[in-house]
Amino acid sequence: MSEKDPFDVLRNRPVPRPHADARRAALSAAMSAYDEKTSAAPQASAAGRRPNGHLKAFWSGIMNKKLTSNPALAAGLLALPVAGFATWQLMDEVRFGFEQPTPEPKPVVETQAPRTRGETQATAEQPKTVEQAPLAQREAVVAPGTVQGQLADQDTEESRSFAETAAAQPSIAPSPPSAVAPMDQLARPVMEGGRLNRSVSGGSSKMMGVPLAAPAPEPFMEQPEDRDRFQSFDTNPIRSALESPVSTFSIDVDTASYAFMRRALKEGVLPGADTVRVEEMINYFPYDWAGPESAATPFNSTVTIMPTPWNAGTKLMHVAIKGYELQQAQKPQANLVFLIDTSGSMTAPDKLPLLKSAFRMLVNQMGDNDTVSIVTYAGEAGTVLEPTKGSDRKAILAALDRLESGGRTAGEAGIQEAYRLAEKSFVKDGVNRIMLATDGDFNVGPSSDEELKALVEEKRKSGVFLSVFGFGRGNLNDQLMQTLAQNGNGTAAYIDTLAEAEKTLVEEANSTLFTIAKDVKIQVEFNPDVVSEYRLIGYETRALKREDFNNDRIDAGEIGSGHSVTAIYEITPKGSPSQLMDDLRYGEAKAENPGGIAHADEYAFVKIRYKAPDGDVSTLITTPVTAANEVASFDAAGTDQRFSVAVAAFGQKLRKTDAVADFGFDRITEIATAARGSDPFGYRSEFLSLVRIASALDRAR
């Protein structure tokens, strides 16, 4: 750069005192450069040039004159960048405000409520554009209390540069509504349908007349991040009956996995393997298993041995359990507490709105002497409805209708309050249950799975049980739902449609509400002289240690009134060509008695332990499995047995289990179609459609 360069002259020259006239002229010129015209153009000028284009042209014209050696002009140029910045900032916010001249400098204070979108305060005396306003009014724009006003008063602040003054104004006070003139050419962004809409109706002034300062940001509805949480687990392996002859697990009557799988398929996505719990898919359907004759025996078990449809060298041992179904006169009084998540994430139609409709159905099923309380949690827990008799349905339904979503999720506090109300209205020899409805995490207060598990474990000792109902996608914490339900002596269900709500809370209300047996465990001992290998289909997350079976302190699953529960083992008979493990050289079972191995004709021995709903000591039921339980062909098995096997095969296909790798969806469809049987609610027909969807999605991969 040469010594005669005007910028070098400016750099070496002391900064002169800003002159008000030069500053005022610079501001006027900068604002005039925008060339605002009254037109239908949504942005910039009628000529089509964008505001930054005008600025570039304006600055280029000034600098090309190379008049910077003039101190007065230099002072004006020092003011121009900030004036340009101020006007650019105005354009960036897409808002302009004009104030009427005032006789004395006063800070601008907003004393009126903000106007609604679309209101204007334009008058006949106020010009619609800067260019239409006379110079006197343009100068009046720089009123005290605004950035431009600070510029006009700069002469009185010798120690401050203009740039420091601008930087000291992080926020701009809005003008009084009466002093604002609309700019028809500009529109501020608006929210429409949860999305940001920056479009403008040509020439419309309905969105104009906004003050210079931006109001508080409007809510922006975004698609929720997919934070669904499912417990990861491995599929049960094949086990040697000689090395590990005993299999022990807790009963599971939950159905959440099936409903979640169905939603995924209907949305055109194959469900992830960890979202598929095969036993919950099997137990989703009602079956006509043989039940007990009286309430003295809470359930009955039926065992069937049949050929495996996907492996000719193995057999299936099908264990079917049916709970006693309470009659209307036998149903105990119910004390229910609805614990409802009303956090901000529950706004979606398939969350709180669906939840309210679902619980309305349940309320309409309750008796006049039953009791309902409602607790909500969002940021903090609150009681919406104190214990209210079922006869006052109007009050209960009105309380449900008033629920709205907002805030974070203080789930732990909500659970504490729900237990307090349940204990307050406790019904001896009745049903005392908390019905937790949520879409996800408890993110306020103690919220680890272990802390909440410990809480519900402790509270269940009081006789108050906990069931969990999941809603929505994107924030579903299925893992926590399972933990709370299992340790709260309750069930876990996922409700994705009103039809599912009807199934869970109306058609199966007895099973959902009325427990007939708790801590139900199954233990199967296989005879290694008949069975070489076995594999339990499903129940991976319900596995128990062998010693847990006789330990009454170990928690297990519950069976409700009329519940159907199914467990299926794939077994490999001794000597079958499908045996995968070699026989042990030194480990064959030896009979010490002359008569040989005891019970040598049995496939297995099934043991079931359970407690009464209010009991602490378990009762044992045993069933030997012999050739008398066997059918000659798969088609000779009962309709319900065959349909449940089709569901088991489908669940294994979705989990990509090796055993069914060569078993096609078409074969599953064939078995399920032939065994559809009575289907009054269409559950089995829907299953067939899901198999077809999964088959199509699998082929499209």
* Each residue's pLDDT tens digit, 198-254: 333 333 333 333 333 334 444 444 444 567 889 999 999 999 999 999 999 999 999
Indicate the range of 129-143, 297-311, 650-664 predicted with least confidence.
Answer: 129-143
Q: How confident is the model at residue 379 (pLDDT cuts 50, 70, 90)?
A: low
Stated as kind and residue range, the H or E segment containing 517 is strand 515-526
pTM of the complete model:
0.68
Q: How far apart are CA 408 and CA 381, in angstroms?
A: 11
d(CA 509, CA 532): 42
Beta bridge partners of 371: 335, 389
Most confident of 186-195, 531-540, 592-601: 531-540
Per the model's pLDDT, the better-predicted residue between 404 and 52 turns out to be 404
Residue 316: the pLDDT is 98
Question: What tens digit of pLDDT does each residue of 122-138 get?
Answer: 444 444 444 444 444 43
Q: What is the pLDDT of residue 560?
A: 93
Per-residue pLDDT, 128: 42
What's the whole-number mean pLDDT along residues 279-295?
Answer: 93
Beta strands in 450-590 (DSSP E): 465-471, 492-495, 515-526, 531-537, 557-560, 564-573
Q: How many alpha carbons lie under 13 Å from residue 60 in its C-beta half-sphere? A: 6
pLDDT top residue among 545 and 143: 545
User: What domains lie within the chain, and their CATH numbers?
Assistant: 6-197 (no CATH), 239-251+268-327+516-581+599-700 (2.60.40.1230), 332-500 (3.40.50.410)
In this structure, are residues 53 and 133 in contact, taking their beta carbons and an 8 Å threshold? no
**Percentage of the chain surpassing pLDDT 70?**
65
Give which of 689, 609, 701, 654 is closest to 257, Cα–Cα. Answer: 654
Compute the Cα dihedral for 201, 205, 210, 216 and give only its sign.
Answer: negative
Which residue type, as a one-letter code, is found at position 423?
E
| Amino acid present at 163 | A
Furthest CA-CA distance within the chain: 124
* Average of per-residue pLDDT values in the chain: 77
pLDDT at 449: 73
DSSP 3-state assignment of 137? helix
Assign 395 a pLDDT band (cuts: 50, 70, 90).
very high
User: Beta-strand (E) ranges in 297-406?
Assistant: 299-308, 311-323, 334-341, 371-378, 380-389
For the segment 317-376, what is each residue's pLDDT rounded down to a tens digit? 999 999 999 988 888 999 999 999 998 889 999 999 999 999 999 999 999 999 999 999
Give the helix/strand (H/E) hosting 8.
Answer: helix 6-12
Question: Cα separation of 44 and 59, whole Å?
Answer: 18
pLDDT 10s digits, 20-79:
677 777 767 766 654 444 444 444 334 444 444 444 454 455 555 444 445 554 445 445
Interval 409-449: pLDDT, tens: 666 778 889 999 999 999 998 999 999 999 876 654 555 77
Q: Which pLDDT does position 601 carry in this prediction? A: 85
pLDDT for residue 96 is more than 70: no
In this prediction, residue 581 carries a pLDDT of 86
